[in-house]
Amino acid sequence: MTKVSFLNDYSEMGCPEIIEKLSQIKLEKNLPYMNDLHTKNAKQYIREKIGDLKAEILFMTTGTQVNLVAAAAFLRPHESIICVEDAHINVHETGSIESTGHKCIPVKGSYGKVTVEDIEKVCGPKYWDNAGILCVKPKMVYISQTTEIGTFYTKEDLIALRKVCDKYNLYLYCDGARLGSALACSDVSLECLAKYTDSFYIGGAKNGAIFGEALVILNDSLKTDIGFIAKQNGAVLAKGWIISFQFEILMQNGLYERNGIHSTKMAMFLYERLKELDFKFFVESKSNQIFPIFSDKMIVELKKDILFDIIDEYDNHRKIVRFVTSWMTKIEDINYLIDRIKEIKSFKNLKR
């Protein structure tokens, strides 16, 4: 992979601080199954940061795994999850939620976000008319921060969702695969997220960790036996500390936040440059994923030495593309991309 890449935020090993720490502890012997000191420390740092010293915390290996363990642990068989249509659990986790026996109830959403109206529609009296036990029971709202299209929930959004969740006795669960960037662009802190949700996860792999995600459970009634459910789903590493030492580092000295700020800044820098070049965007994202609209010709040329994804068709000669930045993205990468775009534009202009 020698091309400059804006393909995703999971092409890199891990940030220097983590690689260095790994090197330091390489000869340690640690107790298995999360009974080690790194795990103890990592949990403590997270608890302090979110302002809940009783939070239950579990370290797992993939986001899909965390989401399916949460579904399996939190829900009874007939209980289902409300999410937007393009939610990761609904379209890009190979039916893992359904494989645990639970149904996703997709709602339209607005700018990639579940709205209060969406929930009212699914949980209100109309959903239940003539139905009763024939319908699955909505029990959890799944949101992701940031969303699939790079937007984010504000504190106000969360407060409103919490209120409607309380009204209908629903859990509010947040997928934090890209929480690093969300912290940088939104007014929602880790503490705020912990206040208004029942559970969420802190994404490591896309924000500096080699791998690993941290499930955080705030709601006491959801904590019982969570370790059993994780183990049953193959989500418990005997060498638990090889994930938790990473969170031990990420949660100290603002490293997690710094990584998110960097990736977000890089995306915004690129966003501004593209704006100057009069590109339109599919959605106004402020996070580390941006979605400009490029002509098919531009895409063909650019693909020659830049890696990025095409998301969808926009019209019959343009497409929505995705550029993703990470903790490792360099300003030079962006300048190179912008220069290439300018070249292609001017070349095309000359030709015509």
Per CB under 8 A, which of residues 282..341 are in contact with a copy of itself?
309-311, 328
Does position 33 interact with a copy of itself (CB under 8 A)? The reply is: yes
Does position 13 interact with a copy of itself (CB under 8 A)? The reply is: yes
If residue 144 lies in a helix (H) or strand (E), which one and from where to where? strand 137-144
Does position 133 interact with a copy of itself (CB under 8 A)? The reply is: yes
- Considering only residues 226 to 245 of the shown chain, the ones binding a copy of itself according to CB under 8 A are 227-239, 242
**Under rule CB under 8 A, how many of the chain's residues touch a copy of itself?**
82
Please select the residue that binds a copy of itself; options are 168, 211, 281, 336, rule is CB under 8 A.
211
**Residue 308: closest CA among 93, 91, 3:** 3
Does position 248 interact with a copy of itself (CB under 8 A)? The reply is: no
Whether the CB-CB separation of 16 and 295 falls below 8 Å is answered with no
Per-residue interface string for the shown chain with a copy of itself, residues 160-189, x marking contact by CB under 8 A: ------------------------------
Does position 144 interact with a copy of itself (CB under 8 A)? The reply is: no
Does position 98 interact with a copy of itself (CB under 8 A)? The reply is: yes
Interhelix angle for 155-167 vs 116-123, to 10°? 10
- What's the Rg (C-alpha) of the chain? 21
- Euclidean distance between CA atoms 233 and 215, whole angstroms: 14
**Residue 244: closest CA among 47, 77, 54, 34:** 34
Closest to a copy of itself by CB, 78 vs 280, is 78
Question: Which residue type occupies 324?
Answer: V
Does position 150 interact with a copy of itself (CB under 8 A)? The reply is: no
Q: Is 344 helix (H, G, I), strand (E, B) or coil?
A: helix
- Considering only residues 62 to 81 of the shown chain, the ones binding a copy of itself according to CB under 8 A are 62, 64-69, 72-73, 76-78, 80
Stretch in the footprint of a copy of itself (CB under 8 A) among 128-136, 168-176, 247-255, 293-301: 128-136
Whether the CB-CB separation of 42 and 245 falls below 8 Å is answered with yes
Stretch in the footprint of a copy of itself (CB under 8 A) among 28-36, 111-119, 141-149, 192-200: 28-36
- Euclidean distance between CA atoms 111 and 175, whole angstroms: 17
Closest to a copy of itself by CB, 135 vs 160, is 135
Strand partners, 323: 290
Does position 130 interact with a copy of itself (CB under 8 A)? The reply is: yes
- Euclidean distance between CA atoms 201 and 217, whole angstroms: 8
**What's the first-to-final CA gap in the chain, in angstroms?**
33
Stretch in the footprint of a copy of itself (CB under 8 A) among 31-39, 115-123, 215-223, 343-351: 31-39
